């Protein structure tokens, strides 16, 4: 038996997405050139751009668009970031993706009005390869034009008049510190097992600094080594095998590989003018 919420889902029977992850090769022209010419202005674009997860495995905004179409667990995703210094008072397009009935958008606690999913459709600009009119009527993106001021944007999603999900984004201050988070803090000491560390550049209050591009260096000692680094930037020639990486949109990735003997891997991430971060990953004997 279908739930009441499932009855409200759109009649979508299938969808094809090319592709899930960005990948090296077939770079989408970085400067928007699509005349099949070998345009030198596209360099250093070396990767596809159309995945909904980037090269580092970080979800893009589009990831949450598909989530809003295919999941029943209540969710809402707000974009873009809210750091637009120099554009005070100018309208910034703000979008929300949700699987709820409607979304209320609040700027510094003041409601900017509710938008209903499917009802408040938006005619978005697209390329001529999508539509000859270069317009596409989308029912999955809720749009507000918001005069920029620093502070907090908050999206509250409602179903049947009751709040079911929310998300909040804040204007970040100056980059102040590095934060490390491991997907696995204990891995096997087999010489192959990996731990993926998300690296964030944050302000003093712990907000992600989405414009930060600080060069971050990694010192790894103990029972493991660096297997690779990345940041999701599809237009960079930075190496994947290195002990450093620039942040891209405030984030980077460090991949650790275990050695064959159990122990601990100690990671120190540091960057000029930022408070450094430290993290320990344990390695244990693999079970037979």
pLDDT value of position 11:
59
Band (pLDDT 50/70/90 cuts) for residue 30 is low
Distance CA 269, CA 251 (A): 13
Coil/strand/helix, residue 65: helix
Strands (E), 68-130: 76-79, 91-98, 102-107, 110-116, 122-125
For 59-75, what is each residue's pLDDT tens digit? 999 999 999 999 999 99
How do the domains of the chain map onto residue ranges? 71-170, 177-284
For 132-149, what is each residue's pLDDT tens digit? 898 988 888 999 999 999
Check residues 174 and 121 and name the one with the higher pLDDT.
174
pLDDT value of position 288:
43
Distance CA 173, CA 153 (A): 15
For 197-251, what is each residue's pLDDT tens digit? 999 999 999 999 999 999 999 999 999 999 999 999 998 999 999 999 999 999 9
Distance CA 268, CA 218 (A): 6
Over 60: is that where the pLDDT of 287 sits? yes
Band (pLDDT 50/70/90 cuts) for residue 49 is confident
Least confident range of 26-35, 43-52, 191-200, 231-240: 26-35
Residue corresponding to tokens 């680094």:
229
What is Dmax (Cα atoms) for the chain?
A: 63
Q: What is the CATH number of domain 177-284?
A: 2.60.40.10
Express as a percent the part of the chain with pLDDT over 70.
90
For 85-117, what is each residue's pLDDT tens digit? 999 999 999 999 999 999 999 999 999 999 999
Distance CA 268, CA 187 (A): 18
Over 70: is that where the pLDDT of 12 sits? no
Coil/strand/helix, residue 185: coil
Same fold? 71-170, 177-284: yes
pLDDT value of position 109:
97
Structure tokens at 34: 């699509």
Band (pLDDT 50/70/90 cuts) for residue 122 is confident
Over 80: is that where the pLDDT of 286 sits? no
pLDDT value of position 264:
98
State the chain's mean pLDDT as an integer.
Answer: 91
**Considering the entire predicted model, what is its pTM?**
0.88
For 186-210, what is each residue's pLDDT tens digit? 999 999 999 999 999 999 999 999 9
CA distances (Å), 235 to each of 23, 90, 204, 255, in order? 12, 29, 29, 20
Count the alpha carbons within 13 Å of 175 in the hemisphere toward its beta carbon: 23
pLDDT value of position 2:
45
Check residues 263 and 26 and name the one with the higher pLDDT.
263
Structure tokens at 177: 């510190």
Distance CA 62, CA 20 (A): 10
Distance CA 227, CA 256 (A): 5
Over 50: is that where the pLDDT of 4 sits? no
Domain 71-170, what architecture? Sandwich (2.60)
Structure tokens at 13: 């029977």
271 phi and psi angles, rounded to 5 deg: -155, 145
pLDDT value of position 34:
53
pLDDT value of position 36:
54
């Amino acid at each position: 038996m279908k739930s009441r919420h499932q009855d409200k889902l759109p009649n979508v029977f299938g969808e094809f997405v090319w592709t899930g992850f960005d990948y090296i090769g077939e770079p989408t022209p970085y400067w928007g050139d699509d005349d099949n010419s070998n345009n030198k202005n596209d360099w250093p674009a070396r990767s596809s751009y159309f995945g909904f997860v980037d090269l580092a495995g970080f979800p893009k905004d589009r990831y949450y668009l598909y989530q809003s179409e295919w999941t029943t667990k209540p969710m809402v995703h707000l974009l873009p970031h809210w750091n637009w210094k120099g554009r005070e008072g100018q309208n910034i397009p703000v979008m929300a993706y949700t699987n709820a009935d409607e979304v209320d958008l609040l700027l510094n606690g003041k409601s900017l009005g509710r938008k209903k999913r499917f009802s408040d459709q938006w005619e978005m600009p697209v390329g001529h390869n999508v539509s000859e009119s270069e317009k596409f009527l989308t029912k999955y993106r809720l749009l507000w034009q918001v005069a920029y001021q620093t502070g907090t944007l908050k999206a509250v999603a409602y179903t049947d008049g009751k709040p079911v999900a929310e998300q909040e984004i804040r204007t970040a201050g100056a980059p102040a510190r590095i934060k490390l988070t491991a997907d696995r803090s204990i891995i096997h000491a087999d010489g192959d097992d990996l731990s993926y560390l998300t690296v964030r550049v944050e302000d003093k209050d712990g907000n992600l600094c989405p414009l930060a591009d600080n060069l971050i260096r990694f010192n790894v000692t103990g029972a493991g080594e660096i297997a690779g680094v990345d940041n999701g930037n599809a237009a960079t020639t930075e190496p994947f095998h290195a002990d450093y990486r620039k942040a891209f949109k405030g984030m980077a990735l460090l991949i650790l590989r275990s050695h064959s003997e159990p122990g601990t891997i100690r990671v120190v991430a540091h960057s000029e003018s930022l408070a450094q971060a430290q993290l320990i990953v344990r390695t244990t004997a693999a079970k037979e």
